[in-house]
Chain A
Amino acid sequence: MPTLRDVKKRIRSVISTQRITNAMEMVAAAKLRRAQQRIEQARPYAEKMDQMLGHLAAASTSEIVHPYFEQRETRKKTLVVITSDRGFCGSFNSNIIRRAVRWLDDNREYETELITVGKKGNNYFRIRPVPIIRFWGDWGGSLDYDRAREVVRFATDRFVSGQTDRIDLLYTRFLSTARYRVTSQDYLPVAPPDIPEEGDERDSVAMDYIFEPDAERIYAALMPGYATTIMVTALADSFASEHGNRMIAMNAATKNAGEMIDGLTLQYNKARQAQITKELLEVVSGAEALKG
């Protein structure tokens, strides 16, 4: 039977833990809101970018010549794994890591390498045989455009210089606070853009575009932005999913702590009651003895 003091101590420690998880939930909720805004605000740009690329592809008669489209025979594949820097977000990171491991399995026939974004993924893979060629951590849970561009520059350079033949992207698509989908996506080479079909009312395109200076140079200027947009979208979605998951996990932890406090309080009261009874008994039996 634990003493009164022991139980009291435990209650106090669980209460302070609960305060922490509660605070973490609030912080995650605030960060989630901001991350969601980021996604909303970035969407129009990504959509227009897609559209413009589609129009460009539909209207330019010549073959697309840009290094990002170059399909090579695959010998080496690179995976960009986007995880979070911090834990306390439920099964979020382990789900991504599991998918990354499966990707490595599926691509056994090729030479493989990783680019890790986020500490959790990096910590898992750095003690495993697959080489990590570059790591970006300490994002602080929010999107930094300059750093995102660094990642893009590194990845595209690696592809264009022929050091790797394919680059895939593994991230989590944000669906709602509690829901996300681990998604792997081809990054490079870029799939040739969808050409809107003629007579398609929603997006019928005039075929006689004027290009200034010319289609090839517009591609050259547009493609880095396109690659960046995809990466930024993936990062923004991942961050939002991370915060959503942390919020849910911390909410559950707060609730569990509450239940634990209730249980301990009951135990404490019982012990207190027992002690009072015992003291009463002593007093009464002492008095009885004196009378006798």
Chain B
Amino acid sequence: MFLLSIVTPEKVCYEAQVQSLVVPGTEGYLGILSNHAPLITALLPGRIEFADAENRVNIMAVSVGFLEVSKNRATILANAVERADEIDVERAQAAFDREKQRIISAGKGETDIDLPSARAAFERAANRLRVFKEHSGDR
């Protein structure tokens, strides 16, 4: 068991002992167990999965962020984190469609669109939808 804290600029989302943790690192998903070697990694939009003290599996969607592991403490700093069952699907879908449209119009030569930010927003929305679908499929 080790201590996991998930922190966003708005609040502390989760802080408790967990058995295991899986996060979307820049080089692919990676798993953390007790006594993991010290590690700092950047996170990509994806899903966080961890088993809490009672071995219940929790799933969350994460946007970009960081993970630090040292001395049996794992800290996730993320811009936004949502529990899979709390994802606002309509909002995610709306953002997904909107950003898709923006990327398409940027491709058609509209110049006043910030393409990297549209891509990033698209990626985040797509991730939220994906995590939600996988989660509801599990049941």
Q: A48-B75, A48-B77, A212-B25 are in contact. Are A56 and B70 (CB under 8 A)?
A: no
Given known A-B contacts A208-B37, A218-B66, A225 and B77 have beta carbons under 8 A apart: yes
- Complex Cα distance A212/B69, Å? 12
Please name all residues of chain A whose beta carbon is closer than 8 Å to the beta carbon of B77 when the two chains form the complex. 45, 48-49, 52, 225
Chain A residues with a Cβ closer than 8 Å to the other chain, count: 28
Whether a CB of chain B sits under 8 angstroms from the CB of A78 is: no
Q: Are A41 and B66 in contact (CB under 8 A)?
A: no
Question: A209-225 toward B: CB 8 Å interface, digit per residue (1/0)?
Answer: 11111000110011001
Q: Which B residues are CB-close (under 8 A) to A206?
A: 38, 70-71
A212–B70 contact, CB under 8 A? no
Residues of B within 8 A of A225 (CB): 66, 77, 79
**Smallest CB separation, A63 vs chain B (Å):** 17
- B65's nearest neighbour on chain A, judged by CB, is A225
Question: Would you call B37 and A52 a contact (CB within 8 A)?
Answer: no
Query: What is the CA–CA distance of A231 and B76 in the complex, to the nearest angstrom?
Result: 21
Q: A48-B75, A225-B79 are in contact. Are A209 and B38 (CB under 8 A)?
A: yes
Residues of B within 8 A of A217 (CB): 26, 42
How near does chain A come to B50, taking the closest CB pair, in angstroms? Answer: 18
Interface string of B9-32 (1 = CB under 8 A from A): 111100000000000011100100
Q: Any chain B CB within 8 A of the CB of A42?
A: yes
CB distance from A205 to the nearest CB of B (A): 7
Q: Is B97 an interface residue (CB 8 A)?
A: no
Judge whether B7 is part of the interface by a CB distance below 8 angstroms: yes
B113 contacts partner chain A, Cβ-Cβ < 8 Å: no
Answer yes or no: A145 CB below 8 A from chain B CBs: yes
- Is the CB of A96 closer than 8 A to any CB of chain B? no
A44 in contact (CB, < 8 A) = yes
Q: Is the CB of B7 within 8 A of A45?
A: yes
A59 and B37 CA atoms in complex are apart in Å by: 13
- With A45-B8, A209-B70, A212-B27 already in contact, the answer to whether A56 and B38 are too (CB < 8 A) is no
A41: chain B residues at CB < 8 Å are 10-12
Residues of A within 8 A of B (CB): 41-42, 44-45, 48-49, 51-52, 55-56, 59, 145, 205-206, 208-213, 217-218, 221-222, 225, 228-229, 232
Interface residues of B (CB under 8 A from A): 5, 7-12, 25-27, 30, 37-42, 64, 66, 68, 70-71, 75, 77, 79
Q: Besides A44-B12, A52-B68, A229-B9, 11 other CB < 8 A contacts?
A: A44-B7, A45-B7, A45-B77, A55-B68, A55-B70, A212-B30, A213-B27, A217-B26, A217-B42, A218-B41, A218-B66
